[in-house]
């Protein structure tokens, strides 16, 4: 990709859209408040700032990928990694909050975790820059923690869906 502003806008847009959609789809309503949660869950106010930092760092790694991919094939790999991550990151909030299915969100979280692992491990190999991968370490840690939190919420509150109303 050339040295224009385009990669900056793409990477920043990726992070801003994901953060904005995640926030818009997160409904801290009565259903969520009534869920039993573990004592080690962070306070609700922490999630917004945490995601802002995490997605900002991931966006930076996207920018590095867009500007340092040495071949068209490597650039296609960068797009595939960040495209898959975008979709998987986006899906979690509607599954958990809109459909009220923490169990489905937990299953989807496995795929999200794999996509973040790809950003951490595969991205540096594609672009020849280990820093691009390290920028995703906070994302990896947070999604790993979120998986454990989601699993505990499922354990404490199941069943969900039709089984919950039967």
Q: Is the peptide bond before 159 cis (omega within 30 degrees of 0)?
A: yes
Half-sphere exposure of 4 (CA within 13 A, CB side): 5
pLDDT score at 3: 62
Question: Which pair of structure tokens corresponds to residue 108?
Answer: 């989807």
CA-nearest of 121, 123, 145, 133 to 50 is 145
Q: How confident is the model at residue 28 (pLDDT cuts 50, 70, 90)?
A: confident
Indicate the pTM of the whole model.
Answer: 0.91
Half-sphere exposure of 85 (CA within 13 A, CB side): 31
Domain boundaries, the chain: 6-160
* pLDDT one-digit tens code per residue, 34-91: 999 999 999 989 998 999 999 999 999 999 999 999 999 999 999 999 999 999 999 9
CA distance 85 to 91: 10
CA-nearest of 139, 157, 159 to 92 is 139
Q: How confident is the model at residue 165 (pLDDT cuts 50, 70, 90)?
A: low
Q: Does domain 6-160 have CATH number 1.20.1260.100?
A: yes
Instruction: Tell me the backbone φ, ψ of residue 124, rounded to 5 degrees.
Output: -60, -35
User: What average pLDDT does the chain have?
Assistant: 93
């Amino acid at each position: 990709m050339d040295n224009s502003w385009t990669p900056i806008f793409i990477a920043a847009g990726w992070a801003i859209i994901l953060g904005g959609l995640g926030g818009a789809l997160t409904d801290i309503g009565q259903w969520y408040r009534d869920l039993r949660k573990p004592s080690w869950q962070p306070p609700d106010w922490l999630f917004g700032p945490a995601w802002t930092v995490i997605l900002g760092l991931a966006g930076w790694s996207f920018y590095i990928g867009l500007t340092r991919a040495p071949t068209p094939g490597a650039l296609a790999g960068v797009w595939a990694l960040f495209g898959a991550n975008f979709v998987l990151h986006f899906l979690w909030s509607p599954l958990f909050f809109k459909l009220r299915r923490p169990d489905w969100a937990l299953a989807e979280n496995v795929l999200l975790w794999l996509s973040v692992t790809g950003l951490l491990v595969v991205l540096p190999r594609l672009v020849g820059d280990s820093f691009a991968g390290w920028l995703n370490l906070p994302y990896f840690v947070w999604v790993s923690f979120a998986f454990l939190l989601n699993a505990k919420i499922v354990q404490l509150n199941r069943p969900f869906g039709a089984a919950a109303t039967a």
